């Protein structure tokens, strides 16, 4: 059974870089069928997709965060990572990692997150 | 970005009640819509994809319908373990976007 677990500092200072790692167990991150994504949920707000990565290193970033986001993959460790630079209080959120099943062709479309990791709270504060 | 509007934002119902949540897209998304269940402190769980396709292992009391801009999620007979927040999510266009969520409380 595939499981994902996000880890990283729970407290980051304003203007610094938030760094999280998602460890995938029970399956290979190098599967050709899936992407790997980051989603966040600020307190009292809805879910926001941050971006995703394919095992080859191909990435997609939400345009609203693109200038500050870097997602990378380490297939040898079965991990993928998120870096968000120049953070402010608005970046305080529970951050989730998830497997993304995504296809966009003329004959088939898919785009859902399954499974998700449990989430990790990151607070931006001095 | 495609905006997803869910209603209501919260509801309270009794065990055995039929519960309906709606999700409206800001533009036509065909049937490219998913539903998730999120219990407090746990990982969100995919329940339905492509508007009406139930994930394997998900109880049949959950169902989804709709296409275009208007979608419905139904719990036919609410159970105590259904206490959770439910989200819709579109995959017609990037970025993938979610509705604001509907918190379902058991009376």
| Structure confidence by residue, pLDDT tens digits, B1-25 | 999 999 999 999 999 999 999 999 9
| Structure confidence by residue, pLDDT tens digits, B94-103 | 999 999 999 9
| Structure confidence by residue, pLDDT tens digits, A49-106 | 999 999 999 999 999 999 999 999 999 999 999 999 999 999 999 999 999 999 988 8
CB contact under 8 A, B95 and A63: yes
**Which residues of chain A have a CB within 8 Å of the CB of B50?**
110
Please, are residues A34 and A103 in contact by the beta-carbon 8 Å criterion?
A: no
Q: Find, in chain B, the residue whose alpha carbon is nearest to that of A45.
A: B100
**Which residues of chain B have a CB within 8 Å of the CB of A97?**
none
Q: For all residues of chain B together, what is the average pLDDT?
A: 97
Q: What is the 3-state secondary structure (H, E, C) of chain B?
A: CCCEEEECCEEEECCCCCEEEEEEECCCCCCCEEEEEECCCCCCEEEEECCCEECCCCCCCEEEEEECCEEEEEECCCCHHHCEEEEEEECCCCCCEECCCEEEEEC
Q: Does residue B78 carry a pLDDT above 90?
A: yes
Q: Does residue B86 carry a pLDDT above 90?
A: yes
Q: How many CB pairs under 8 A join A and B?
A: 58
Please, are residues A65 and A84 in contact by the beta-carbon 8 Å criterion?
A: yes
Distance from CA of B82 to the nearest CA of A (A): 18
| Site from A111, A117, A120 to mutate, B interface, most B CB atoms within 10 angstroms | A111
């Amino acid at each position: 059974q595939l499981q994902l677990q996000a880890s990283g500092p729970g407290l980051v200072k304003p203007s610094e870089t938030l760094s999280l790692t998602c460890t995938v167990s029970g399956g290979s991150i190098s599967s050709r069928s899936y992407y790997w994504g980051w989603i966040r949920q600020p307190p009292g707000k809805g879910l926001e997709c941050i971006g995703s990565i394919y095992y080859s290193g191909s990435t997609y970033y939400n345009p609203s965060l693109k200038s500050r986001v870097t997602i990378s993959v380490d297939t040898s460790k079965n991990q993928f990572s998120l870096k968000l630079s120049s953070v402010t209080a608005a970046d305080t959120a529970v951050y989730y990692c998830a497997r993304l099943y995504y296809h966009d062709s003329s004959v088939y479309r898919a785009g859902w997150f399954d499974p998700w990791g449990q989430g990790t709270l990151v607070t931006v504060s001095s | 970005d495609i905006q997803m509007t869910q209603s209501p934002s919260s509801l309270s119902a009794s065990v055995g009640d039929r519960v309906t949540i709606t999700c409206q897209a800001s533009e036509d998304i065909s049937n490219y819509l998913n539903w998730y269940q999120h219990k407090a402190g746990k990982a969100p769980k995919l329940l339905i994809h492509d508007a009406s396709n139930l994930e394997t292992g998900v109880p049949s009391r959950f169902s989804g319908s709709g296409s275009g801009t208007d979608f419905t999620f139904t719990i036919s007979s609410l159970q105590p373990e259904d206490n959770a927040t439910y989200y819709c999510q579109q995959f017609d266009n990037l970025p993938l976007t979610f509705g604001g969520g509907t918190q379902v409380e058991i009376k």
